[in-house]
Amino acid sequence: MEEIILLLGSNKGNRIGYLSQAVQKISALSITPVLTSSLYESEPWGFETETWFLNMSVLITSDLTPQELIRVVLNIERELGRVRQPDSNGYESREIDIDIIFYGSRIIETPQLVIPHPKMHLRRFVLTPVSEIYPGFIHPLLSDRVEDILERCDDKSVVVKSCRAL
């Protein structure tokens, strides 16, 4: 059984609805009750669009392998309407985005999956909700606590705790 931290994001359509449905589906994967962060509104990172993202982190425990988990996560995204464009650089508006940030303390580098998420330490919109639910988690490559990585993060993009919660 591993503790797994996911990041969910949405900036297209009913953002709260997509996040809520994703959390429901993800909850079915967890052996223990899930822990969710607050909702955070954040400006888009890596591309321009008018609608900001709602982001949140989710902590689950699971016996799924990382490869099984990524298949399930991608299927949840498809079920909720996400269509990945083959020629896209990944930065575009989306109904739902689910990223595996940490899978326990494992380090995985395959063409299909990189864990820990390779850019999480550069992104305030990832670090803020992850730090809320697991501030003391030690990044297995950086050997530092998530809350300390957030404190030193150079990303100046706006991330605001939403007054809404799921």
- State the helix-helix crossing angle for 15-27 and 66-79, rounded to 10 degrees: 140
Yes or no: is domain 2-161 CATH 3.90.1150.10? no
Cα separation, 109 vs 157, in Å, equals 28
pLDDT tens, per residue, the chain with 166 residues: 999 999 999 999 999 999 999 999 999 999 999 999 999 999 887 667 778 999 999 999 999 999 999 999 999 989 997 777 666 666 777 889 999 999 999 999 998 899 999 999 999 999 999 999 999 999 999 999 999 999 999 999 999 998 766 7
The per-residue pLDDT for 92 is 72
The per-residue pLDDT for 90 is 62
Q: Which residue has the tokens 């850019």?
A: 119
* Domain residue limits, the chain: 2-161
The per-residue pLDDT for 47 is 67
The per-residue pLDDT for 51 is 87
Residue 140: CB atoms within 10 Å: 14
